[in-house]
């Protein structure tokens, strides 16, 4: 069939693979269901392979997959330029086996329960000292968040790009810079990729702006997830909420917990332990290990863990962990070592290498990027302030409050757009996004009881 040939040729032509959305954009004459059926047949007949789940799923030609993705050797799976310990090589030898040769495993609660904050150390003391030396900045004694605010413009680009790249996003660093600084989406990219970058920007800003009050609790974690997940999940109700269903991990023999109550209980223990850890690097790495392992959300768990891992570093005015130049295959192998073996050595070796890369960038750079558009920043703060005013004063009529504020502060030309933005933000408000506005769940509950939101 011509349709099958067209789709196969498009995949063959792309070394970075293609998503369903990208293929439909290239071939608008092919219906979505038809394309899905063609892709399933091509995978079944071993003409292409698929990686990722849901909207992040990408299709690769077999020849390209073999060259760039198949973990046939240690070198393929974990680049030689990342130093590995003997323990890490043992993990890699196991993970590099075909899935059918690896043992099916479920969530091991003992792995979490055995961790004793400030007694157990995933990062030995000597290693923590090394990380502190690498990451120390001139702002070490300044108030929490001073350094992350100073490098925020660069941080938004680097962390948004690198974390998205680990999810198969094909935006270049320059594309990302133009999107974040100018609001200009890259041509030929799927809307999903643009949304992913913008969500990272929002989530990073959320952490930096709330650094004094942010800690590892449900409020911070749920709002961080909702920022990263906005408009990316099949069910928007899953944004900022504990998952209510089972999930599978692609190309893994690991099966996470499926009972919501068990997930809730484990998450409370996880957050309680994280908050007790004194060293910022140990705290950071603990979140990198245990949050993806628990898989508390329907999706976007690893992204959430990568940003959560930066919270202690932001707070201590240390260099951020941006994941620049971290190979996706290395990251996925290291994570599988945790999932299937509850062993952290491979992820630890990668963490150390990745952090050194980040510090080399950040201790060498000058802030040479343009400041964000002050007008956009002004409206962003105004929208937040107006939402906060409405929810904090439930006795006020929301629409009248919006109209009054907009008329007073916004130029007549821009009033309709700003008012529409505020109404839309208010309409979509729920517990998982309240931190954006400096609101507490009790305030929102009081407002809802009067306005039936």
Report d(CA 445, CA 289) in Å as an integer. 34
The response to whether 303 counts as a known ligand-binding position is: yes
The response to whether 154 counts as a known ligand-binding position is: no
The response to whether 442 counts as a known ligand-binding position is: no
Query: Phi, psi at residue 324, to the nearest 5°?
Result: -60, 135
HEC per residue, the chain: CHHHHHHHHHHHCCCCCEEHHHHHHHCCCCCHHHHHHHHHHHHHCCCEEEECCHHHCEEEEHHHHHHHCCCCCHHHHCCCCCCCCHHHHHHHHHHCCCHHHCCCEECCHHHHHCCCCCCCCCCCHHHHHHHHHHHCCCCCCCCCCHHHHHCHHHHHHHHHHHHHHCCCCCCCHHHHHHHHHHCCCCCCCCHHHHHHHHHHHHHHHHHHHCCCCCCCCHHHHHHHHHHHHCCCCCCHHHCCCCCCCCCCCCCCCEECCCCHHHHHHHHHHHHHHHHHCCCHHHHHHHHHHHHHHHCCCCCCHHHHHHHHCCHHHHHCCCCCCCCCCCCHHHHHHHHHHHHHHCCCHHHHHHHHHHHHHHHHHHHHCCCCCCCCCHHHHHHHHHHHHHHHHHHHCCCCCHHHHHHHHHHHHCCCCCHHHHHHHHHHHHHCCCHHHHHHHCCCHHHHHHHHHHHCC
Scanning the structure block, which residue is given the tokens 């609001």? 183
Choose among 339, 308, 360, 316: nearest CA to 128: 316
Report d(CA 233, CA 237) in Å as an integer. 9
Report d(CA 285, CA 355) in Å as an integer. 11
The response to whether 306 counts as a known ligand-binding position is: yes
The response to whether 41 counts as a known ligand-binding position is: no
The response to whether 304 counts as a known ligand-binding position is: yes
Q: At what angle do helices 301-308 and 191-209 cross, to 10 degrees?
A: 30
8 A C-beta contact, residue 160 and residue 188: no
Choose among 240, 242, 304: nearest CA to 432: 240
The response to whether 305 counts as a known ligand-binding position is: yes
The response to whether 413 counts as a known ligand-binding position is: no
Annotated binding site for ATP: 299-306
Annotated binding site: 299-306
């Amino acid at each position: 069939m011509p349709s099958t040939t067209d789709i196969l040729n498009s995949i063959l032509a792309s070394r970075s693979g293609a998503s369903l959305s990208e293929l439909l954009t290239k071939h608008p004459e092919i219906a979505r269901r038809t394309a899905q059926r063609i892709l399933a047949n091509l995978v079944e007949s071993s003409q292409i392979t698929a990686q990722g789940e849901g909207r992040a799923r990408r299709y690769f030609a077999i020849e390209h997959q073999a060259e760039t993705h198949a973990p046939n050797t240690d070198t393929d799976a974990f680049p030689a330029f990342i130093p590995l310990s003997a323990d890490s090589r043992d993990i890699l030898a196991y993970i590099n086996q075909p899935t059918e040769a690896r043992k099916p495993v479920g969530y091991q609660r003992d792995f979490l329960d055995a961790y004793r904050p400030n007694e157990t150390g995933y990062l030995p003391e000597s290693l923590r000292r090394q990380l502190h030396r690498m990451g120390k900045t001139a702002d070490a004694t300044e108030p929490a968040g001073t350094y992350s605010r100073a490098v925020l413009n660069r941080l938004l680009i680097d962390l948004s790009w690198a974390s998205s790249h680990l999810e198969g996003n094909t935006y270049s660093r320059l594309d990302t810079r133009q999107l974040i600084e100018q609001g200009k989406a890259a041509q030929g990219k799927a809307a999903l990729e643009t949304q992913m970058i913008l969500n990272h920007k929002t989530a990073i800003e959320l952490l930096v702006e709330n650094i004094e009050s942010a800690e590892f609790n449900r409020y911070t974690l749920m709002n961080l997830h909702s920022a990263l997940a906005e408009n990316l999940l099949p069910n928007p109700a899953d944004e900022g909420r504990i998952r209510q269903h089972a999930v599978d991990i692609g190309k893994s023999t690991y099966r996470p917990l499926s009972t919501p109550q068990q997930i809730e209980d484990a998450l409370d223990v996880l957050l309680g332990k994280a908050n007790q850890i004194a060293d910022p690097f140990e705290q950071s790495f603990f979140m990198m290990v245990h949050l993806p392992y628990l898989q508390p959300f329907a999706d976007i768990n690893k992204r959430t863990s990568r940003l959560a891992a930066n919270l202690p570093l932001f707070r201590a005015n240390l260099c951020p962990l941006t994941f620049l130049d971290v190979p996706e295959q290395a990251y996925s192998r290291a994570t599988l070592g945790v999932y299937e073996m509850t062993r952290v050595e491979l992820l630890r070796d990668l963490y150390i290498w990745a952090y050194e890369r980040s510090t080399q960038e950040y201790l060498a750079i000058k802030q040479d990027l343009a400041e964000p558009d002050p007008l956009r920043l002004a409206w962003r703060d105004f929208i937040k302030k107006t939402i906060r005013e409405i929810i904090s004063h439930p006795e006020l009529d929301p629409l009248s409050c919006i109209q009054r504020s907009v008329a007073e502060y916004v130029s007549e030309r821009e009033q309709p757009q700003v008012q529409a933005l505020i109404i839309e933000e208010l309409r979509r408000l729920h517990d998982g996004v309240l931190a954006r506005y400096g609101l507490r769940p009790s305030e929102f509950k009081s407002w809802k009881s009067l306005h039936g939101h």
